[in-house]
Amino acid sequence: MTHPNQSTPLQEQPPLPSSTRVTEELPPLTSDPSFWAMSLTQFLGAFNDNVFKQLLLLLATPTAAAIAAAELAGESAPDRQSEAMIVFAAAFLIFSGFAGWLADRTSKRTLIVASKAAEILVMAIGMVGFYFYDLIGFGGMLVVLFLMGVQSAFFGPPKYGILPETLRDSDLPRANGIFLMFTFLAIIFGVVVAGLLKAYVDNVWLGSAVCVLIAVVGTMTALGVRRVPPATPGAPLGAEDLLVPRSLLRVVWSDRQLMLAVLVTSAFWMLGGVVQQSVNALGKSQLGLGDAKTSLLAAMLGVGIPVGCVLGGYLSRGRINPRVVVVGASVLLVCLLLMALRGGANDHLLGFGGSIPVLVVMGIGTGMFIVPVQVSIQALPPADEKGRMIALMNQCNWIGIVLGAILFKVALVTLDAAGQPRNTMFLVAAAIMLPVALFYRPEERSLSD
């Protein structure tokens, strides 16, 4: 049922004003150097984020041997992954509102370059933190993780908000597919490299020095992004901009499709937070795998996601396609249920080898599902609200991740008390996805050139 104040389909809306669109003729997507520079910049940034975050998550996840030894001593070996996820998410919740206002008031290209330069500093601090890890411990590295979250919070609104400003509307589905493909390829490499560093490099800080170099290269590639004018130059900063502006809430409330897309993407990242921690817990705590194999298992999810993103962008060609969402959600739900099956060695029916293809297919469903949702959030808001809309999406996403981290912690304690294996957490994830798969159907819309 359509809300009476819902905005008209995109093909009936006027084009973005010239103040927020690049005025020269836009080139085809595949031959647009600005788009490829932005995609490479995103790849390098996502790689760094995932190397650092996975290193901390591995440090936070107890091994099966540690759990057994703690049980014999009448103690517990806590899984501290949730602490890392909450700290990282807190930075987004605190700064996303301001970052969104800044992304609309300032040229998004300028903000992209500045945030990438800040990444160099954060990665350097991270390298020093790993060098002094024996002194500052896991708690000290959480401070570094928070700083990384702050940098990412300011990078998020301009990196997504600049796409509709520099691309033709009809190219947005394919562009998002390619953009997300680069993102999840970075996740694959970042997670695998983190596992290899943790398993085979005695001095992890030396490996993290590579992240500083990658941040430098990412700053250079950001310079290739096309210049754009500010969407709302001179906009004053109000108290509500630090949270959620009332004008933005009215935009979301007046467009039912936009509101549903924001809620669904929040639930999606809640699911993602639970699944990421569940895979690490399955590998290290239940199957008894080392850091390298556990990270390889986590990376398998990322192997399928770029395929799904490209497939979702191709099938959506020039429109928001609800059928792509339905297929992706259904595949994702089935794979979560398969990962929860009991039996076999270590009470996990699939085991390490069987989990790999299921996680790859789960990734394909994930990519297909999220592309049309992402396009909806980029394309539906008014031109002068896109930066703050992306910031609101980030806030909602990280609220979802925080809730996912809390849910993971509570469910894990409950499952341990009931003597249930770690892979039961995938049932919890399936419960999050079930109502989305059953009821979410975005309205099909064509995207104008």
Q: What are the two backbone dihedrals, phi and then psi, of residue 106, each rounded to the nearest 5 degrees?
A: -115, 155
Distance between CA atoms of 340 and 207, rounded to whole angstroms? 35
Residues 6+ apart with CB under 8 A from 104: 161, 230, 231, 232, 235, 384, 385, 386, 387, 388
Distance between CA atoms of 360 and 299, rounded to whole angstroms? 9
Report, as ranges of residue numbers, the positions in the chain whose pLDDT lies below 70.
1-24, 238-245, 387, 391, 447-449
Distance between CA atoms of 124 and 32, rounded to whole angstroms? 32
**What is the Cα 22 distance to its own chain's centre?**
27
Distance between CA atoms of 180 and 309, rounded to whole angstroms? 6
Identify any residues that bridge with 446 across adjacent strands, giving them in sequence order: 319
Calculate ∠ Cα 244-246-252, nearest 5°: 80
What is the model's pLDDT at position 240? 65
What is the model's pLDDT at position 17? 44
What is the model's pLDDT at position 244? 64
Kindly report, residue by residue over 125-159, the tens digit of the pLDDT: 999 998 998 899 888 999 999 999 899 889 988 88
- What is the sign, positive or negative, of the torsion defined by CA atoms of 347, 350, 352, 356? negative
Q: Give the CA distances from residue 203 to residues 129, 134, 161, in Å, rounded to whole numbers and listed in that order.
A: 12, 12, 39
Is the pTM of the predicted complex or chain greater than 0.95?
A: no
Distance between CA atoms of 277 and 275, rounded to whole angstroms? 5
What is the model's pLDDT at position 305? 82
What is the model's pLDDT at position 235? 73
Q: Give the CA distances from residue 325 to residues 106, 297, 322, in Å, rounded to whole numbers and listed in that order.
A: 34, 25, 5
Q: Is 449 helix (H, G, I), strand (E, B) or coil?
A: coil
Calculate ∠ Cα 443-251-431, nearest 5°: 55
Closest alpha carbon to 368 in 400, 329, 337, 335: 329
Calculate ∠ Cα 386-262-84, nearest 5°: 100
Going along the chain from its start, the domains and CATH numbers come out as 34-227+243-446 (1.20.1250.20)
Residues 6+ apart with CB under 8 A from 254: 3, 5, 6, 7
What is the model's pLDDT at position 241? 63
What is the model's pLDDT at position 352? 94
